[in-house]
């Protein structure tokens, strides 16, 4: 009986991520029809640093989306038999990185090395030596004299290939949209300093922002070309204790960081906005109850509260194994539970901010005029209060993202984060920390995890700064 070559698998986190992406696209289309929002986003688009950061974030999001397309490969069966599928779950990113995933070594190896990191007793040898890697540098054969030259050639070839792809893209953009590339960019708010007229300044700012995007893409393409060229023959970031490629683990960790940062916000945002506006506008006993609730939650140490909740959820998962057909579904359940717990314990700061801003807004003339005309409370909160708080919500939304990515790393480091089978920056750091005490030190796993996490968090923070400057009513326009 014929069957599909793969069986598509939709995890709950995948579905939520795709739904959230669709909602963001819908909100972007809606914002284009709002003059104030369109003007604010136009200020963001003129910021060279913001557009560079957005380009880097788009690369991370693309990797995360590819890693969210899951499937189960078909097993080899007898002709005419019912199709059987593997229990192991793969993703589209796994298919693209199949070379990195399958080329595992015995144990640790340094970046771009040709031998294992530790000495072992070899056959037909009395002394302990460094064994050759099965895959790293295998194309060199026994002649290792050309190792350094081979790396240099691959660097040049990869950088040249990335430059060639960028030039093709640039030529296509210039032909299609008339994009003008300027090599002299000013990093800042995107305004020119030559005292030109306002229209000329706006055009120059847009040109500078477009140039910053092109420069960022040039760096991304060249870096990707170098990594691909080196990864074809070596382990670019070395291997870990069980011989897995560290570059593969770092790329797989991106999806976990993105899910923690976005899904947690999806849980936190409605609770914080609703309770904050209710406390600030309704007042009275409602305000007292909500203040007591978030004050009590804030007084409990966050790590202890999260750890207790995660352990309770883990007990539920362990006692109901029949709920999960694969280990990926089990790990996904713990990931969603962690997002839920982080969201339910991190809404207090935004709720307090919403309450304070609502207390000021309810005393303004347009709100009091609505009350005088007999408009209901919920209508006032929906039509007058919430729209005037959206800039704060958006700023908090973007700025909390990087904090949540770092929170996952800390929680996984202390053992109460994602499932051990889930690859994340925190699990990589937790695995590598014990190897820092050995001599010689195994440093590359830790450096790779920190490098990718630093790039993600830095890009998110720079983009958040630009959004804050553009949407804050007190900023100059």
* Lowest-pLDDT range of 81-90, 164-173, 340-349: 81-90
The reported pLDDT for the residue numbered 4 is: 66
Cβ(281)–Cβ(381) under 8 Å? yes
Whether residue 73 contacts residue 85, with contact meaning beta carbons closer than 8 Å, is answered with yes
Q: Which residues form the domain of 409?
A: 246-475
Give domain status of residue 116, yes or no.
no
Residue 331, φ and ψ in degrees, nearest 5: -65, -35
Residue 5 has pLDDT above 80, yes or no: no
The values of phi and psi at residue 347, to 5°, are -90, -10
Domains in the chain, number: 1
**Neighbouring-strand partners of residue 128:** 121
295 within some domain:
yes
pLDDT attached to residue 320: 81
Give pLDDT, residue 183.
Answer: 41
Beta bridge partners of 9: 70
What is the per-residue pLDDT across 233-266, written as a single tens digit (0 to 9) for each? 888 998 888 888 999 999 999 998 888 888 888 8
Q: Is the pLDDT of residue 17 over 80?
A: yes
Residue 434, pLDDT above cutoff 90: no
DSSP string, 190-251: S--SS---HHHHHHHHHHHHHHHHHHHHHHHHHHHHHHHHHHTTS-TT-B-TTS-BHHHHHH
DSSP strand pairing (90-91 vs 120-121): unpaired
**DSSP conformation letters of 52-87:** HHHHHHHHHHHHHHHTT-EEEEBPP--TTSPP-B-S
Q: Helix, strand, or coil here: 17?
A: helix
Please report whether residue 236 resides in a domain: no
Residue burial 150-163, b: 16+ Cβ < 10 Å; e: rest: bbeebeebbbebbe
Does residue 168 or residue 476 have the better pLDDT? 168
Residue 354 lies in a domain: yes
Q: Is residue 189 pLDDT above 50, yes or no?
A: no
Top pLDDT among 178 and 24 is at 24
Predicted model pTM: 0.84
Which residue, among 178, 174, 177, 194, has the nearest Cα to 186 in the 3D structure? 194
Compute the distance between CA of residue 341 and CA of residue 70 in angstroms, rounded to an integer: 25
In angstroms, the CA 385 to CA 371 distance is: 12
Structure tokens given for 43: 């200020």
- Give per-residue pLDDT as tens, 100-137: 888 888 888 889 888 888 877 666 666 677 788 888 88
CA distance 370 to 37: 24
Residues 6+ apart with CB under 8 A from 132: 114, 115, 116, 138
Asked if residue 161 has pLDDT above 90, the reply is: yes
Residue 405 falls within a domain, yes or no? yes
Q: What angle do CA 182, 186, 188 make, to 5 degrees?
A: 135
Give the mean model confidence (pLDDT) for residues 442-453: 89
| Chain mean pLDDT for the chain | 82
Is residue 99 situated within a structural domain?
no
Tell me whether residue 201 is in a domain. Answer: no
Per-residue pLDDT at 56 exceeds 50: yes
DSSP character at residue 382: I
Say which CATH number the domain at 466 has. 1.10.3720.10
Quick check: is 462 in a domain?
A: yes
Report the pLDDT value the prediction gives residue 181, as an integer from 0 to 100. 47
pLDDT tens figures, 372-414: 888 888 888 888 888 788 778 877 777 788 778 878 878 877 7
pLDDT of residue 206: 61
Long-range pairs for 282-287 at CB < 8 Å and ≥24 separation? Answer: 282/377, 287/355
The most confident of 187-196, 231-240, 293-302, by mean pLDDT? 231-240
Mean pLDDT for 53-79 is 86
pLDDT in tens, 199-235: 555 555 566 677 888 899 999 999 999 999 999 888 8
186: left (phi over 0), alpha (psi -120 to 50) or beta: beta
């Amino acid at each position: 009986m014929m069957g599909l070559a793969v069986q598509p698998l939709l995890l709950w986190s995948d579905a939520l991520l795709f739904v959230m992406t669709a909602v963001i696209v819908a909100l972007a289309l809606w914002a284009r029809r709002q003059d104030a929002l369109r003007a604010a986003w136009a200020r963001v688009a003129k910021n060279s640093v913001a557009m560079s950061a957005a380009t880097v974030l788009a690369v991370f999001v693309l990797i995360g989306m590819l890693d969210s397309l899951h499937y189960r490969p078909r097993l080899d069966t007898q002709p005419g038999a019912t199709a059987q599928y593997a229990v192991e779950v793969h993703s589209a990113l796994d298919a693209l990185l199949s070379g990195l995933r399958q080329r595992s070594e015995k144990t640790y190896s340094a970046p771009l090395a040709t031998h294992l990191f530790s000495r072992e007793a070899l056959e037909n040898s009395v002394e302990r030596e460094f064994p050759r890697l099965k895959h790293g540098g295998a194309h060199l054969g026994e002649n290792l004299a050309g190792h350094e030259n081979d790396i240099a050639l691959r660097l040049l070839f990869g950088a040249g290939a990335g430059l060639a792809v960028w030039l093709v893209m640039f030529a296509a953009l210039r032909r299609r949209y008339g994009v003008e590339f300027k090599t002299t960019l000013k990093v800042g708010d995107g305004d020119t300093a030559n005292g030109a007229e306002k229209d000329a300044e706006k055009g120059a700012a847009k040109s500078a922002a477009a140039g910053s995007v092109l420069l960022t893409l040039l760096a991304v393409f060249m870096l990707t070309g170098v990594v691909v060229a080196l990864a074809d023959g070596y382990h670019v970031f070395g291997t870990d204790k069980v011989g897995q490629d560290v570059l593969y683990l770092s790329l797989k960790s991106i999806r976990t960081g993105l899910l923690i940062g976005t899904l947690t916000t999806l849980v936190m945002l409605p609770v914080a906005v609703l309770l904050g506006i209710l406390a600030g506008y309704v007042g009275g006993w409602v305000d007292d109850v909500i203040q007591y609730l978030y004050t009590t939650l804030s007084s409990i140490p966050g790590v202890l509260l999260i750890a207790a909740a995660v352990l309770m959820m883990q007990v539920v998962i362990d006692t109901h194994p029949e709920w999960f057909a694969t280990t990926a579904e089990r790990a996904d359940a713990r990931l969603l539970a962690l997002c839920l717990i982080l969201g339910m314990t991190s809404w207090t700061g935004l709720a307090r901010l919403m309450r304070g801003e609502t207390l000021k807004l309810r005393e303004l003339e347009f709100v009091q005029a609505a009350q005088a005309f007999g408009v209901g409370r919920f209508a006032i909160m929906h039509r007058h209060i919430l729209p005037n708080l959206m800039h704060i919500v958006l700023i908090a939304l973007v700025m909390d993202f990087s904090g949540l990515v770092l929170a996952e790393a800390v929680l996984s480091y202390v053992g109460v984060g994602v499932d051990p089978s889930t690859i994340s920056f925190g699990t990589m750091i937790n695995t590598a920390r014990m190897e820092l005490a050995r001599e010689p030190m195994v440093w590359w796993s830790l450096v790779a995890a920190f490098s990718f996490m630093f790039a993600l968090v830095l890009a998110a923070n720079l983009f958040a700064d630009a959004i804050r400057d553009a949407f804050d009513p007190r900023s100059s326009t």
